[in-house]
Amino acid sequence: MKVLLLGYYGYGNFGDELMRLALEDFFQKFQIQYITALPKRRSNDTISRFNLFQVMGALYECDMLIYGGGGLLQDVTSLRSFLYYASVIELAGMMRKPVILFGNSLGPTKRWISRFILRRLIRKPDVYLFARDVVSFRYAKQLNGNTVLSADPSVRILRKLELVPEKKYDLVIVPRNSERIRDYTIFGRKFGKVLVCPSQDTDIPVAKAIAANIGADLFEETHDAIESLKKIISGELIISERFHPTVVASYYGVPFVSLENSKAQRFFRKYTKRRDFFAKEVWEVEERIERIKREPLYLRDEMDKEVEDSFKQLYRLMLRLKK
């Protein structure tokens, strides 16, 4: 059995690299051959995601295409990116290769053409969706019976690593929005030791500005997912504008606040009805800190079981499709 693995890999994005590590660990455990699509070809088992001939060659060589987690099919970040992922699914269909969207979320889509394309893709009988959030699951289930509610793939690698958080910082900030740089000043006064830890390359300039503004430590090795993980869970509290740091926090029971992130709100609906983990503005965080620290979200056992079941389902599906 051989698969083509595609995702937002190779760009120094913390969550996507964790999911990639998880999928590659799964493939290696079950001796499944795989080719990974990256920005540039690095070895015989990788291809350039931008080289059409390499993508077509890999699809021809492989038994199926797997999208390895994340919010790939949305046009808020980029219409071009959405069209790219949609096009590869269409190409796989033309070559009669089944497509597995494993641990994916769908949308949001703000353009009518994107919504039309998304519905068309999900309706395909050779597309199989493992939706990581309830909203995506309910939407896709109406269009395609090959839909199940699943875990986020990254949990598999968290489970394998068995890390114990070392509390070195009073606060870890995972920033994104440059308009909030000055808003974080209040935490420089409130907390003693603060670490600013960007979770992807594009967030580094914002992280540097915040760290300089409040006199905080800075970690900017975004391409080292494991070291980033250790840094993120080293805080007594995490404030994150990105999605996967909140997943990591809930797995290890580290108190967190997700700042204006719809993916996090959608994802955590299946685990809790509490809304105090989510805020729209930085100034709203302060009033939530006391309760969140007193009653943090600790989902390790639930997530471990969920991810084990999800990967078992994935393996059974792959065996069936190979036949």
pLDDT-based confidence at residue 68 (cuts at 50, 70, 90)? very high
pLDDT-based confidence at residue 322 (cuts at 50, 70, 90)? confident
Residue 140 has pLDDT above 90, yes or no: yes
Contact 184/172 with Cβ under 8 angstroms?
Answer: no
What are 47-65's pLDDT values in tens digits? 999 999 999 999 999 999 9
Q: What percent of the chain has pLDDT over 90?
A: 93
Residue 323 has pLDDT above 80, yes or no: no
pLDDT at 285: 92
Instruction: Pick the more confident residue, 50 or 43.
Output: 50
pLDDT at 88: 98
Q: Across-strand partners of 91? A: none
pLDDT-based confidence at residue 102 (cuts at 50, 70, 90)? very high
Residue 260 has pLDDT above 90, yes or no: no
Q: Could you name the CATH architecture of 160-299?
A: 3-Layer(aba) Sandwich (3.40)
Average pLDDT, integer, range 125-134: 98
Contact 84/37 with Cβ under 8 angstroms?
Answer: no
What are 192-247's pLDDT values in tens digits? 999 999 999 999 999 999 999 999 999 999 999 999 999 999 999 999 999 999 99
Q: Is 198 helix (H, G, I), strand (E, B) or coil?
A: coil
pLDDT at 105: 96
CA 81 vs CA 76, 114, 301: distances in Å: 10, 11, 35
Average pLDDT, integer, range 181-195: 93
CA distance 267 to 47: 31
Residue 162 has pLDDT above 90, yes or no: no
Average pLDDT, integer, range 134-139: 97
pLDDT-based confidence at residue 75 (cuts at 50, 70, 90)? very high
The strand pair at 2-6 and 217-218 is best described as unpaired
pLDDT-based confidence at residue 254 (cuts at 50, 70, 90)? very high
Instruction: Find tokens 């190979």 and name the residue.
Output: 322
What is the 8-class DSSP label of residue 87?
H
Average pLDDT, integer, range 258-276: 93
pLDDT at 44: 84
CA distance 113 to 132: 24
Average pLDDT, integer, range 71-92: 96
pLDDT at 91: 98
CATH entry, 2-150, from 2.30.30, 3.40.50, 1.10.287, 1.10.3470 = 3.40.50
pLDDT at 188: 86
Say how many CA atoms lie within 13 Å of 281 toward its Cβ. Answer: 6
- Range of weakest confidence among 17-21, 111-115, 164-168: 164-168
Average pLDDT, integer, range 107-136: 97
Average pLDDT, integer, range 293-317: 98
Are 2-150 and 160-299 the same fold in CATH? yes
Contact 199/219 with Cβ under 8 angstroms?
Answer: no
Domain ranges of the chain: 2-150, 160-299
